[in-house]
Amino acid sequence: MSAILAVHALEKTFGSLVAARDISVAVPPLQTVGIIGANGAGKTTFVNMITGHLRPSKGTICFEDRDITGLPSREITRLGIARSFQMPQIFPSLTVFENMCAATAIAHACGGLLAQLLTPLYSPATMAQAEAALDLFRIASYHSAVAATLPQGVRKLLDIAMAVAGSPRLLLLDEPTSGISIEEKFDLMDVVMSALKNRGITVLFVEHDMDIVERYADRVLAFYDGTVIADGSPVETLENPRIQELISGPKLKISALTAKHA
């Protein structure tokens, strides 16, 4: 098995709008890949297609040499691909601990509806594992806080912690630092990356902040107009004049973009 994720000639159209075209990428296991590009370049469409949220119009997606093109997201999740969201998808009426327990228990009862019927939600094993996950992601101090009241950074961490509860082998993070203040971005990424370390997870993350990409990515995919225009190490990609012109550009432009997202 050379690549954990192999995408070939992927295309997505919405009527006459081409959201993604001719995307071919192979990601070897354990690589951390940063995905950059301006708004509307097709980054999230790419993530949505891999995780089954959108069905590709053309092309194939293989995960661990298995064709997963067009499978529903819950089946893709069960195969070992998890994701976090730009807008954290947590359960706002539950506490942080209850959120984590729900995610952990679902991972335990992966056999489907019957297993979910017969497994109690708050079993000792589930609770211990949930506590450990909250510790790992440094959000244990919010244990009993209702999720609706959490600051954005904690929401982001909880969202990622819940995605990782099922022990995925591939994790896609959609803008993990959007809506987070500049000072906190690195702390957040440090927590995430150290939590994911040694767990054998291949990570793809969408990011607007080039400093973050440079620091955490082994490889960078640059998206423009629905396709990948550059693919290489962070240094060579970010120094590519075309990338600077089209994406990373003058620093000011990027921070304005990020601010717009917040």
Binding residues for another protein (CB under 8 A):
51, 72-75, 77-78, 82-83, 85, 89-94, 102-103, 105-110, 113, 115-122, 159, 162-163, 165-166
Residue pair 69/157 in contact (Cβ under 8 Å)? The answer is: no
* Minimum distance of another protein from residue 44's CB (angstroms): 13
- Looking at beta carbons only, is 21 or 156 nearer to another protein? 156
Query: Token pair for residue 233?
Result: 């190490």
Beta bridge partners of 18: 13
CA max distance for the chain: 58
Task: Give the Å distances, CA to CA, from 214 to 156, 191, 207.
Answer: 21, 17, 10
* Minimum distance of another protein from residue 132's CB (angstroms): 18
- Looking at beta carbons only, is 105 or 230 nearer to another protein? 105
* Minimum distance of another protein from residue 153's CB (angstroms): 18
CA distance 188 to 199: 18
* Minimum distance of another protein from residue 190's CB (angstroms): 24
CB atoms within 10 A of CB 45: 22
- Looking at beta carbons only, is 68 or 228 nearer to another protein? 68
- Looking at beta carbons only, is 106 or 212 nearer to another protein? 106
Query: Token pair for residue 113?
Result: 């509806």
* Minimum distance of another protein from residue 67's CB (angstroms): 19
Residue pair 217/238 in contact (Cβ under 8 Å)? The answer is: no
- Looking at beta carbons only, is 46 or 85 nearer to another protein? 85
